[in-house]
Amino acid sequence: MSKWENNIRKVVPYVPGEQPKDTSAIKLNTNENPYPPAPGVAEALRNLDPASFRLYPDPSASLLTEEIAKLYGVGQDQVFVGVGSDDVLAMAFLTCFHSDKPILFPDITYSFYDVWADLFRIPYEKQPLDETFRIRTEDYKKENGGIIFPNPNAPTGLFMPLDAVEEIVRANPGVIVIVDEAYIDFGGTSALGLLSKYDNLLIAQTFSKSRSMAGMRIGFLLGNPALIRLINDCKYSFNSYTMSQAAIALGTAAVRDREYFYECTQKIIRTRERAKKKFLELGFLCGDSMGNFLFVAHPKYRAAELFAALKDAGIYVRHFCTPERISNYLRVTVGTDNEMDALFAFLEQYRPDDRSN
């Protein structure tokens, strides 16, 4: 080991889903939206003036924050935007979780949480989900330095009722509670209505899923003005110009087209509900996911082998080796009806001892 390595921060990084180079592959592994963004996004792209790219973008992304504030009925000073929900959540970790006490989050959840905690030297404790993969509210009523959980959870897709969310927020007035709502547009009720009651609540959402803009990297936080101001202080101390001119313009256009947004999410929900029934018919265990993905396991199949067989057939899904409780599950993004039909056609013919199927 070189001497300088003693002074280097080392962390175990987050591992994103594979991005296949084969454009003909059926990609059901990273929870992207299978449909294009709103038509207004393409128009906004055409109207971009390349000459303006010599200038820095608006550091406050005011066009976008104004549009988000209007959509959700909050003040513009209650909105923080950044480069995807990963960026805004990382900034929230850096700002809000500054205590010697451990933050709390589920043991089966978005696997970036412990990465950020390690990166920023934040102590943490994972709280085990119950036997049905649900969060136990009582686990979040002990001393802590903050709380974060997705709703619906990932990778399970299970939704926690709003009264249970409020129970956790109400029980922790001295710390920030972050509800990560990356998948809320596909089912369940947002905690948005609780913002006026609790100044310690922070809600995170993303354009990557329901608004079909994973490639643009846009995420946002909603919270009380004082908290958003403090997060902005950290952002401006780190990188003032996080969002490009293109992302601001295209994101604003995406928010404005509410009709297309509703049609697109409803289409995915219909396909998801049909897919749930089909997985059950094929003998899979399939929870009542409220996201744009399904979390499935078959009692007779090894998930690792099925994952590999699907990949050989050009169908990409996600397999998590850890923790052990979910090592035999696969997470399957809801694709188009044709993509899901191709997946089920494969599964109908699949035999565990025959990788050629």
Q: What is the pLDDT of residues 147-184, one digit of tens each?
A: 999 999 999 999 999 999 999 999 999 999 999 999 99
Phi-psi group of 266: left, alpha or beta (phi > 0 → left; psi -120 to 50 → alpha; rest → beta): alpha
Task: Using the predicted structure, report yes or no on whether residue 356 has a pLDDT greater than 70.
Answer: no
Reported pTM = 0.95
Q: Where are the alpha helices (DSSP H) in 185-283?
A: 225-238, 245-256, 258-281
Pairing of strands 146-150, 103-106: parallel
- Please give the biggest Cα pair distance in the chain: 59
Both tokens of 164, joined, read 């249970």
DSSP state of 283: T
CA-based Rg of the chain, rounded to a whole angstrom? 21
Average of per-residue pLDDT across 279-293: 97
| 225 three-state secondary structure | helix
| 34 three-state secondary structure | coil
Render the burial of 335-350: b for 16+ CB within 10 Å, e for the rest: beeebbebbbebbeeb
The number of CA neighbours under 13 Å toward the Cβ of 6 is 2
Q: What is the pLDDT of residues 254-284, one digit of tens each?
A: 999 999 999 999 999 999 999 999 999 999 9
Q: What is the pLDDT of residues 83-98, one digit of tens each?
A: 999 999 999 999 999 9
Helix H, strand E, coil C: the string for 310-342 is HHHCCEECEECCCCHHHCCCEEEECCCHHHHHH
Check residue 357 and give its pLDDT. 41
Q: What is the pLDDT of residues 231-255, one digit of tens each?
A: 999 999 999 999 999 999 999 999 9
What count of other Cβ atoms lies within 10 Å of the Cβ of residue 39? 11
Render the burial of 40-64: b for 16+ CB within 10 Å, e for the rest: bbeebeeeeeeeeeeeebeebbebb
pLDDT, mean over the chain: 96
Give the helix, strand, coil percentages of the chain, each rounded to 5: 40, 15, 45
Pairing of strands 124-127, 103-106: parallel
- Contact (Cβ atoms closer than 8 angstroms) between residue 219 and residue 204: yes
Check residue 354 and give its pLDDT. 53
Check residue 176 and give its pLDDT. 98
Four-point Cα dihedral 56, 58, 60, 63, nearest 10: -150
- Residue 235, amino acid: K
Q: What is the pLDDT of residues 315-350, one digit of tens each?
A: 999 999 888 999 999 999 999 999 999 999 999 999
Both tokens of 124, joined, read 């943490």
What count of other Cβ atoms lies within 10 Å of the Cβ of residue 114? 19
Check residue 323 and give its pLDDT. 87
Q: Which helix (H) or strand (E) holds 104?
A: strand 103-106
Kindly list the distances between the CA atom of residue 14 and the CA atoms of 23, 60, 116, in Å, as whole numbers in the listed order.
25, 28, 9
